[in-house]
Amino acid sequence: MDIQGLPGRLLADLGPAIASGELPAGTVLRSEELEVRYGVSRTVVREAVRILESMRLVTSKRRVGITVQPKSDWDVFDPMVIRWRLAGADRSAQLRSLGSLRVAVEPAAAALAARQATDDQRRELGALAVELTVTARAADLTSFLQHDIAFHATILRASGNEMFAHLGDTVGAVLTGRTEHHLMPHQPRPYAVRLHREVADAICAGDAEQAEQAMRTIVVGALEELNVTVD
């Protein structure tokens, strides 16, 4: 979700404030106060609040106001919520939680992809593995990130499991956050690039066991690196 204009500006302030705990659970905001503080119309406030409600960060009731909800109620898979949490003091816990999710899901998805992927998906993975190799050697982190997001999302879709496929944006937000917050090396490590090629090769060959093992090495290694980097 990419919100532009005045609602986007309001979200860019309120979202991170809620995600970071600056506006803790139970805080009550008033539409009239937000209108005055940000110099926006009631319609703009309503649109921003509607989006925050869709993420379950707040609830809005007439004569009560806009109430910030506890973290246990949030849609923690929403890419914007992930982005906001990664920008705040909750970054370490967020990265570890998402890293653990990847360890649980992506190896299984890779194994399924080796059995279920279409010919087009296998060709796409092979091409993305080549692009990852080229951009890694060039130390082009921006292009590498784009290809890495596409690589992992393709595997999740190729698994044939709609639940796994739905996590593509979530994994993409994690990969983006690692790069934006300088938790990645200046140049992707050769062994990590090699492992991505191994995953692609295994899926293309229909080798579920090898695909699962190589992907597990990738995501476990990423989680272990985070435990060192963010401490």
* pLDDT for position 94: 86
Mean pLDDT by 10 residues, the chain (231 residues): 72 94 96 93 94 97 94 93 87 87 97 98 98 95 96 98 95 88 82 96 98 97 69 42
The residue type at 108: A
Stated pTM of the model: 0.85
Rounded-to-integer distance, Cα 154 and Cα 124, Å: 8
The pLDDT of residue 227: 63
Q: Indicate the DSSP class of residue 69.
A: P
Token pair for 229: 């980097």
What the chain holds in terms of domains, given with CATH numbers, is 5-73 (1.10.10.10), 90-229 (1.20.120.530)
